[in-house]
Amino acid sequence: AVSFVPFSPPPFLTPWWLAAWFSVTYIFFFLSNTLANIPYDAWAPELTEDSDERSRLFFLSGLFDGGGTLFAFGLPFAGFMAAKQSGVTGGICMPTEDLAMMCASGYHCGDFNANGEGYEFVVNTTFTHSALKLFVDELVAYDCDMASPAIHAGSELTEDAIATFCGCINTCGQACMGANRAYGYMLAGVVLALWYVFSSYNCCHAVSERKPPPGGRPPSRPLVPSLLGTMQNPAFSVLLPAWACDAVGTAVFMALCPYLVLYVIAPEYQTAEDSPFGLDCKDGARAAKTSASYDRRCSSMNVLGACVSAALLTAVITTPVWLAALKRVGKVKSWLLWSLLMASTNYLFVILEKSWIRTAILVCGLNGIPIAAKFLADTILADIIDYDEFLTGSRSEATYTMFKSFLPKVMAIPASALPLSIMNVAGHIPAENGKAMYQPMSVQWSIKLMAGVMSGTISLAAWYIKMKYPLKTAEILQEMSKGIALHKEGKPAKDPLSDYEYSITNFTEEENVAGVWSLDHFPGVKIVEDLRDNPTDAIEALVSRSNTQFFGAIALMVVMVVGLVASLQLLMTHTLSFVPTIMAVLMGTSLVIVGFTYCRRKAAFAIKASPPPHELVEKVLRQRQALQALYDAQKAMRLKEQNEMAKLEEDASLARAH
């Protein structure tokens, strides 16, 4: 709950303090989100072992996810209204008559966005139009956007004086909206934090966890062996690149979606000629709620809200359709259709043009259809966890859910930051006094190509990789369940992917501590064979290689840190602002590598200090040889199926030729 602090920063910060706040709290939010939600996500697959029941469970979860997301999206807007009605922004948001008097008296709001309270209305030392106060009654009724009713410039009320007055009115209107947004987001963060505490407490007390085995739960396997163990699951390892593609594609789109509305659709810059409503939004002046000619269709916030609402409502409505598809064509085919549809709908963003508000809402609504099928990915992961139980004899829900949930967060950082850097390279014009500026075509096309073509192509690549997923049919899942039951009885069982007779090798807690977990830091058959045949040389080679990898990782991290520090000054440039982003990502990656190699080095020294007994090494070798034989059998089965498919295609081709 504390991690929701990023949603409630101090309302007014300087650009550097704002960047520092975002950097620290963004990382803290994702880390705490991962730690808090891994147990929750791991809980669901163990509630039932029936694949169909899990599908229905995740379907209901998807419905609540959609409704919750819709609520969370609307919450800031409710916060805006609450801030306005409560008077917390009364210092900058005031009635039209009072605002007109302040602007006519030589005050301005230009410093408010940067400094906040105390800078609502500051005396303009260069103000030379004191005569404006004599015409306040006329100016109150004057619409600066529409220049009506007409005010005839005279000796005391010049056009320059009117322009100064209107500039103050528009700037203060933008400042008022910014203040309401700031306090609205703060309120949203507090409400979400309280809701998270309440719902988590209720969940923990209402739902029973699976009872521990007799004798209590065994000690947890170390982190590195657990992660490496997931890579030995062929159903999981084949999907890692696909999930990485999904994470990148989603992060790119989410990062650019607001800019797609703000800069490509550009509601504030609609003109009577290109607007579908015949609106002239006066370069955003009519988007200010303080304007007498305010029109919600001129506001990017309102258009973005309509787009996101359309996507979320479509997602909630079409979720039952995906459940029906799952029952009709099967889980895997529905899952693949979801992935393909996500790529197809992303491509639609390329067609959007300036002022195409209705089309933008329609395209966002269509993108809500694949969002509704997100629960299918959870059902697939549950089946993968079952197959891991077939291979190892134990369930590892937390490890798999951690890996799958952490991967999108790692990929989201570069995938979110790099598109924004590319916008700067393309010539992005920063906002002035909180007002978004109209962007050149190079920026608009960079957004469309990244949000549409780039994210769509990445999603298409994910669909292609998912085609290789092996647990395709209900028959395979049934055979897998039978195999798990046989393994629990200590009997061998046929692998559902190869028909290979496979037995699980079980280790006691004493054997795990004596060397199995240390050896599991180094996967593969050869390393254990070397340890059996020549333990002294094998251990020395293991320690030497671990040292080389660890100190090499440290050297890499030092280079990345130096590169990041040296490139920070490039943040102030438009063309090279992406370089610090890349260096920060590389530095984070190098830090992970340092942690990984440190754990392996520690395990290598543990093996050197207390070499595992010969009998235990033989047992580990038998386990790894059995797994390798299983993988070889699966590879041979895939090759056989490919040859049979090629033969069928050849026969069909010959038949058509005759």
467 and 534 assigned to the same domain = no
Q: What is the pLDDT of residue 81?
A: 81
Give CA angle at 220 (213, 552), nearest 5°: 165
CA distance 637 to 116: 68
Residue 542 within any structural domain of the chain: yes
Specify whether the CB–CB gap between 245 and 462 falls below 8 A: yes
- DSSP label of 134: G
Specify whether the CB–CB gap between 8 and 182 falls below 8 A: no
Residue 276 within any structural domain of the chain: yes
- Tell how far CA 226 is from the center of its chain: 24
- DSSP label of 260: I
365 and 239 assigned to the same domain = yes
Residue 576 within any structural domain of the chain: yes
Number of structural domains in the chain:
2
The structure tokens 């105390």 sit at: 118
Diameter over CA atoms, the chain: 105
| Residue range 578-635, pLDDT digits in tens | 788 778 878 888 998 999 999 999 999 999 999 999 999 999 999 999 999 989 888 8
CA distance 658 to 655: 5
In single-letter form, the type of residue at position 28 comes to F
236 and 372 assigned to the same domain = yes
What phi-psi label fits residue 438: left (phi over 0), alpha (psi between -120 and 50 degrees) or beta? beta
493 φ, ψ (degrees, to nearest 5): -145, 150
Choose the final residue of a domain: 475, 501, 528: 475
Of 355, 568, 546, residue with least CA distance to 444: 355
- The dihedral through the CA atoms of 82, 84, 87, 88 has a sign that is positive
471 and 517 assigned to the same domain = no
Rg of the chain taking only CA atoms, in angstroms: 31
Q: In a 3-state reduction of DSSP, which class is residue 352?
A: coil
In single-letter form, the type of residue at position 331 comes to K
461 and 549 assigned to the same domain = no
Choose the final residue of a domain: 475, 497, 524: 475
316 and 433 assigned to the same domain = yes
Specify whether the CB–CB gap between 368 and 318 falls below 8 A: yes
Q: Which domain holds residue 535?
A: 509-657
Q: Which residues fall within 8 angstroms of residue 354, CB to CB, at 6 or more apart?
A: 264, 265, 266, 269, 270, 274, 444
**Angstrom distances, CA of residue 197 to CA of 3, 29, 70, 79:** 12, 15, 19, 20
Q: In a 3-state reduction of DSSP, which class is residue 152?
A: coil
- DSSP label of 565: H
Residue 158 within any structural domain of the chain: no
461 and 518 assigned to the same domain = no
Specify whether the CB–CB gap between 149 and 119 falls below 8 A: no
- The dihedral through the CA atoms of 587, 592, 597, 599 has a sign that is positive
The total number of residues shown for the chain amounts to: 658
Q: What is the pLDDT of residue 647?
A: 80
**Angstrom distances, CA of residue 599 to CA of 222, 225, 551:** 9, 10, 13
465 and 610 assigned to the same domain = no
404 and 272 assigned to the same domain = yes
Q: In a 3-state reduction of DSSP, which class is residue 148?
A: strand
Taking residue 305's Cβ as centre, other Cβ atoms within 10 Å add up to 17
Q: What is the pLDDT of residue 621?
A: 93
446 and 521 assigned to the same domain = no
428 and 532 assigned to the same domain = no
- The dihedral through the CA atoms of 352, 356, 362, 368 has a sign that is positive
Tell me the helices (H) and strands (E) count for the chain, helix number first.
23, 4
Q: Give the chain's residues under pLDDT 70.
A: 1-15, 113-114, 116, 126, 128, 145-156, 212-218, 288-292, 408-409, 412-413, 416, 433-434, 574-575, 658
Residue 161 within any structural domain of the chain: no
Residue 426 within any structural domain of the chain: yes
- DSSP label of 263: I
Residue 170 within any structural domain of the chain: no
| Residue range 350-397, pLDDT digits in tens | 998 888 999 999 998 998 888 888 888 888 888 898 899 898 888 887
Residue 244: CATH number of its domain: 1.20.1250
